[in-house]
Amino acid sequence: MRTAKNLFVACAALALFGLTGLAIAAPALAEDGQGEALFNLCTQCHGNAGEGRQNLEAPAIAGLPEWYVTTQLNNFMSGARGTHFDDIQGMRMRPMSRSLTGEGDVEAVSAYVASLPIVTPARTLDGDAAKGQGMYALCASCHAIDGTGSEPQGGPPLIGQSDWYLLSQLKKYQAGIRGRDPRDTFGLMMQPMSLTLPTDESMKDVIAHIMTLSGESE
């Protein structure tokens, strides 16, 4: 276990060193393709179209609204997210976010991500969408009845997101791996909400309903 932890720390440090070197050149791109150039770094995990990669546990980000991407990048930068040692994916993301050191980098890459077309995800989990529809009513207060999200409520869109990622994040909220830092205002709201889905079956049922909103049928 110690060897694995050391290897992870070493990889994160190498990623930060390498990406920081690339980010130094970012100001020159500020007026022409800055966001797209910075996004090239993101494609290594999130895919060329921002569709996500399950084998790397990297979520789909294509089409996420600019405000949400900016918020999460700032959370990773500040340590409000991605510091819990059981959040391996978050710990990988934190040094990547901190490579965005140039003026306007966060805003530029967030705007570019928001401009990408949403990719309809393939279904990987079993669940009863009909049962999940009723339970989703509580989620709709922040994520909207059609899953498009709500900026005033801090709820990101759920459409276009992979089912495996939604399940992993619900479990992280329930375990206190995510949503416990007082600086993560909306994460703090989500943590108790996740506890209203106490079983894997109930989580998968709600996610199955969300997948129908994304255009993926059972």
Domain boundary among 55, 85, 115: 115
**Structural domain contains residue 218:** no
Q: Does 35 reside within a domain?
A: yes
Mapped onto helix, strand or coil, the DSSP state of residue 188 is helix
Do 144 and 86 share a structural domain?
no
Q: Could you give the dihedral angle defined by the CA atoms of residues 211, 214, 215 and 218, in that order, rounded to the nearest 10 degrees? A: 0
Which of 87, 115, 143 is where one domain is finished?
Answer: 115
Domain assignment present for 122: no
Q: Could you tell me if residue 124 is inside a domain? A: no
pLDDT in tens, the chain (218 residues): 444 444 343 444 434 333 333 333 333 333 459 999 999 999 999 999 999 999 999 999 999 999 999 999 999 999 999 999 999 999 999 999 999 999 999 999 999 999 999 999 999 999 999 999 999 999 999 999 999 999 999 999 999 999 999 999 999 999 999 999 999 999 999 999 999 999 999 999 999 999 999 876 44
We report the CATH number of the domain holding residue 186 as 1.10.760.10
Reported as a single tens digit per residue, the pLDDT across 8-20 is: 434 444 343 333 3
Q: How far apart are CA 211 and CA 215, in angstroms?
A: 6
| Domain assignment of residue 120, yes or no | no
Please tell me whether residues 51 and 145 are part of one structural domain: no
The total number of structural domains in the chain stands at: 2
Residue 170's domain comprises 129-213
Residues 162 and 72 both lie in one domain: no
Q: Which of 69, 84, 115 is the last residue of a domain?
A: 115
Is the pTM here over 0.85, yes or no?
A: no
Task: Check whether residue 79 and residue 169 sit in a common domain.
Answer: no
> Does one domain contain both 97 and 160?
no
Asked if 18 and 99 sit in the same domain, the reply is yes
Same domain for 146 and 69, yes or no, is no
Reading the block at residue 123, the tokens are 């279904």
| Closest C-alpha to 184, from 77, 26, 110 | 77
